[in-house]
């Protein structure tokens, strides 16, 4: 999945995860180095105090017997550092014997005579140690005091700290990512409501508005901007609807007048042949324009939701039969085979308007009659299930390209340039879709070029009340 196609919540979560991971690594590394320096400082203070006490001991015992001084040095070494201490002269020889076997075998570093104090890390017998060396003038000579402490304890603490970071990092990252996703979903929840409302708004319900969240943030400003845009669209669409309805209504009168005058002129016996043909053309074109205006007025009323259609229980079989009877003479004239299959049903009750459903079936039959070649076949069938009835209109006509099927219900759309040779306004299927929506029905089309087209109409059956006992 590409990141730029993921949801905002997921992208925010991924960004939060990456930023938290980077912060966690940076924080862990910084804390690890800080802990390492802190532990090193602690060892520095410990060894420094140990050498301070050793200096005090040498001061106090400088006039005692050498054997007693060595014993006190030995006891001090074992008491404070497990015997890891040594006292060297400037020439590198020991001022006292080694207080322990560990001190004797320890890899003490060489110290320059110019250094007053050194604090460094060395390895002895494969183990890391911190060593402090300090020059100490005593009497007429300068001694070098050494003290060592193992660094393995520090390393153990550092390893445990690093292991803790590695172990708890995935858990904390998971918790933080889940929390970030929850917070982003909660913050973007108004966007989901806005999206759902926006998807439900169409040309039929432009009066609806997006829910405004009184939060004072960007979402509120976006919602208000979208609502203002919807208001402008609603006003523009209403003006177009008003113009279409008014124009369709007002043009019916002049067209009727022109057609009537032409029909009256055709009755005049002395009219010449050319004039008769001209008036005949006027009558035919006026009739076509009248049908177009009626279709436009029907759709204008549909857009204005003022069709006045009342849905009531009716027999769908009767509506299909009447539309089929209208199509029979046209099919016979064009050498088409027209069949009707009702599956033995005489009555199929649906909730609807009889004239509208008859018009819907007739539009489907009219399209099949127009685009089916001579000697072709058109079949109308009806099947009923428990809750729905299905009406199929199949033809063996020229078919519709697959790329045009999604748009055939658009107004004035003609699927193929060659189909424009067939008379029609491109409004029939738009009216059929409106009637289907009015009856809560589903209409779909499947087609194959040069093989034919099938239109399916799925209507809900009328739920009749149970008979009274």
- Which CATH number does the domain housing residue 243 bear? 1.10.287.130
Bridge pairing between strands 377-384 and 337-341: parallel
Residue 317 sits in the same domain as residue 293 = no
Q: What is the pLDDT of residue 466?
A: 45
* Average model confidence (pLDDT) across the chain: 80
Is 370 among the domain residues? yes
- Give residue 250's pLDDT: 63
Give the pLDDT of residue 252. Answer: 63
> pLDDT exceeding 90 applies to what percent of the chain?
8
Is residue 406 domain-shared with residue 270, that is, in the same domain? no
Q: Are 324 and 286 in contact (CB under 8 A)?
A: no
CA angle 245, 246, 248 (to 5 degrees): 65
Which of 303, 336, 351 corresponds to the end of one domain?
Answer: 303
pLDDT digits (tens, 9 = 90+) for 238-279: 776 676 666 656 666 676 777 787 777 778 787 888 887 887
Q: Indicate whether 196 pLDDT > 70.
A: yes
Q: Which of 274, 303, 332 is the last residue of a domain?
A: 303
> Alpha helix locations (H) across 61-121?
66-81, 101-105
CA distance linking residue 346 with residue 290, whole number of Å: 36
Give a yes or no: residue 265 inside a domain: yes
Are 310 and 345 in contact, with CB atoms under 8 Å apart?
A: no
**Section 344-368 average pLDDT:** 87
Domain range for 453 is: 312-460
Confidence at 468, pLDDT banded by 50, 70, 90: very low
CA distance 389 to 387: 7
At a CB cut-off of 8 Å and minimum separation 6, what does 6 contact? 14
* Lateral strand order in the sheet of 85-89: 85-89, 141-150, 127-138, 117-124
Q: Which of 303, 337, 363 is the last residue of a domain?
A: 303
Helix (H, G, I), strand (E, B) or coil at 410: coil
pLDDT in tens, 140-183: 788 889 999 888 888 788 888 888 878 887 887 788 778 777 87
How would you class 412 by CB atoms within 10 Å of its CB: exposed for 0-12, middle for 13-18, buried for 19 or more? Answer: exposed
Output the pLDDT for position 420.
47
- Supply the pTM of this predicted model: 0.49
pLDDT number for residue 101? 87
Residue 394 pLDDT exceeds 90? yes
Number of domains in the chain: 3
Tell me: do 74 and 120 sit in the same domain. yes
Q: Which residues contact 201 (CB under 8 A, 6 or more apart)?
A: 208, 230
Among the listed residues 323, 366, 318, the one whose alpha carbon sits nearest the alpha carbon of residue 346: 318
Residue 438 domain-assigned (yes or no): yes
pLDDT of residue 395: 92
Does 140 share its domain with 10?
Answer: yes
């Amino acid at each position: 999945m590409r990141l730029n196609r993921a949801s905002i919540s997921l992208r925010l979560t991924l960004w939060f995860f990456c930023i938290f991971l980077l912060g966690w690594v940076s924080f862990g590394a910084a804390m690890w180095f800080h802990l390492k320096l802190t532990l090193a400082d602690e060892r520095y203070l410990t060894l420094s105090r140990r050498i301070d006490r050793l200096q005090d001991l040498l001061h106090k015992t400088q006039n005692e017997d050498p054997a007693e001084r060595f014993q006190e040095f030995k006891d001090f070494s074992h008491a404070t550092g497990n015997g890891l201490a040594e006292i060297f002269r400037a020439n590198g020889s020991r001022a006292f014997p080694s207080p322990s076997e560990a001190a004797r075998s320890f890899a003490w570093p060489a110290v320059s005579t110019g250094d007053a104090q050194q604090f460094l890390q060395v390895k002895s017998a494969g183990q890391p140690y911190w060593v402090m060396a300090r020059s100490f003038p005593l009497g007429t000579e300068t001694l070098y005091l050494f003290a060592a402490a193992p660094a393995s304890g520090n390393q153990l603490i550092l390893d445990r700290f690093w292991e803790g970071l590695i172990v708890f990092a995935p858990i904390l990252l998971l918790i933080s990512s889940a929390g970030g996703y929850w917070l982003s979903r909660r913050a973007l929840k108004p966007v989901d409501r806005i999206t759902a409302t926006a998807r439900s708004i169409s040309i039929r319900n432009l009066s609806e508005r997006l829910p405004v969240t009184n939060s004072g943030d960007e979402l509120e400003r976006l919602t208000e901007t979208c609502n203002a845009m919807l208001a402008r669209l609603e006003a523009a669409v209403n003006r177009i609807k008003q113009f279409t309805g008014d124009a369709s209504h007002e043009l019916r009168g002049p067209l009727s007048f022109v057609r009537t005058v032409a029909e009256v002129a055709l009755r005049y016996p002395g009219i010449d042949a050319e004039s008769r043909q001209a008036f005949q053309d006027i009558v035919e074109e006026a009739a076509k324009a009248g049908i177009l205006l009626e279709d436009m007025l029907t759709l204008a009323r549909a857009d204005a939701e003022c069709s006045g259609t009342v849905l009531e229980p009716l027999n769908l079989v009767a509506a299909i039969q009447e539309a089929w009877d209208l199509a029979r003479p046209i099919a016979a004239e064009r050498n088409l085979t027209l069949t009707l299959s009702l599956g033995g049903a005489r009555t199929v009750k649906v909730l609807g308007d009889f004239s509208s459903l008859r018009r819907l079936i007739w539009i489907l039959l009219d399209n099949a009659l127009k685009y089916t070649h001579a000697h072709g076949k058109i079949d109308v069938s009806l099947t009923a299930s428990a809750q729905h009835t299905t009406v199929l209109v199949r033809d063996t006509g020229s078919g519709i390209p697959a790329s045009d099927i999604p748009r055939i219900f658009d107004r004035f759309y003609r699927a193929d340039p060659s189909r424009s040779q067939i008379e029609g306004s491109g409004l029939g299927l738009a009216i059929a879709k409106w009637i289907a929506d009015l009856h809560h029905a589903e209409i779909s089309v499947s087609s194959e070029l040069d093989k034919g087209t099938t239109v399916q109409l799925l209507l809900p059956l009328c739920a009749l009340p149970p008979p009274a006992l």
